[in-house]
Amino acid sequence: MKVTKFKDELKQLDAAGLKVKLEAVRRELFNIQLNATTAHVKDYSQFKKLKKDVARVLTFATQKEHEKLK
């Protein structure tokens, strides 16, 4: 998924949606880590990409939280 597409998707989500998205990305990262320990992973760059996606989701969640406080 392109980064700009992913960011646009995150902008549209509310706090609950961001929480669900965060769980999904973390689950995907866990599955890839599990596959790396038990079998061969085809693309090791996925680790870095998914970690960045987790950070993006957390950033948007923090921004939404700060908007609520204002």
Cα(70)–Cα(59) distance, rounded to whole angstroms? 17
Q: What is the CATH number of the domain that holds 24?
A: 1.10.287
Q: Once rounded to an integer, what is the mean pLDDT over residues 53-60?
A: 96
CB 18 within 8 A of CB 61: yes
The total of structural domains in the chain comes to 1
Q: 12: domain range?
A: 3-69
Q: How many residues does the chain have?
A: 70
| pLDDT per residue as tens digits for the range 7-35 | 999 999 999 999 999 999 999 999 999 99
Our CA angle for 30, 7, 61, nearest 5°, is: 70
The pTM of the full predicted model, rounded to 2 decimals, is 0.87
Residue 1: is its pLDDT beyond 60? Answer: no
